Amino acid sequence: MERVYVPDPIVGPMVEVSGPEAHHLARVRRSVPGDRVELFDGRGNAVQGRIEAVGRSTVSVVIEAPLPTRPVPSATVTLASAVPKGERFDWLIEKATELGVARLIPIRTARSVVDPRSSKLDRLRRLVVEASKQSGRNRLMELGAPIDWEDLIGQGPLGVGLVAHPAGEPIGRVGPAREVTVAIGPEGGFTDEEIGRALASGWRAVGLGPTILRIETAGLAACAAILSRSEGEVP
């Protein structure tokens, strides 16, 4: 059954699907009246519906029944990451969404090569939607506004703060927590001063293994290590 994202609350007997989702249903999937679809609102809610009419710019869907709430990770993980070059950031966003990361915040550090402020958030949010549709996720991953690493340190982490560093303790030694923020530096790594200030602010340095990882690989490895310890549960 085709999954369709609707940004507004799903209320009433009928929902009008518009924008890219309507185009996909009408022009790509060639949907016709009578086809059944799954609508989700990005907030954790989903319903089964039946297409009533296909117009030029909208698709009318009759709501038939609510769908069961899908399990979500019991740990809420925020990934604060430097931005890798080219399409690798797109890949990171897609895979972080699939993993169940709750929030991704682009950061700028002393050695950053890519300025996170140049990223087009509308396009990146569309990547989150597409990855959510594919992975069966009903709650969209939040994309935070780009922020300087020093400012993020000043705000404090959401929950337990972990910063990736080759000299850090193995991430496997970190006990389970309900909320975790994982920080990944740029290709050249965080400077000693950046690490020192983070540790002084209560963050913990963690290692991700003996090899040197790219930004996107490190981010996903760290998040997967944390999320794998929590069994899915309904919030």
pLDDT at 115: 80
Domain boundaries for CATH 2.40.240.20 within the chain: 2-66
Q: What is the pLDDT along the chain (235 residues), one digit of tens a residue?
A: 999 999 999 988 999 999 999 999 999 999 999 999 999 999 999 999 999 999 989 999 999 999 998 888 889 999 999 999 889 999 999 999 999 999 999 999 999 988 877 668 888 999 999 999 999 999 999 999 999 999 999 998 889 999 999 999 999 998 888 999 999 999 999 999 999 999 999 999 999 999 999 999 999 999 999 998 765 444 3
Q: Find where tokens 């290692």 sit.
A: 207
pLDDT at 235: 38
Question: 2-66 is classed in which CATH architecture?
Answer: Beta Barrel (2.40)
Domain boundaries for CATH 3.40.1280.10 within the chain: 72-233
pLDDT at 233: 44
Q: Find where tokens 């910063």 sit.
A: 163
Homologous superfamily, domain 72-233: SPOUT methyltransferase, trefoil knot domain (3.40.1280.10)
pLDDT at 79: 98
pLDDT at 185: 97
Ramachandran angles phi, psi of 74, nearest 5°: -75, -20
**What's the number of CA atoms in the CB half-sphere (13 Å) around residue 128?**
21
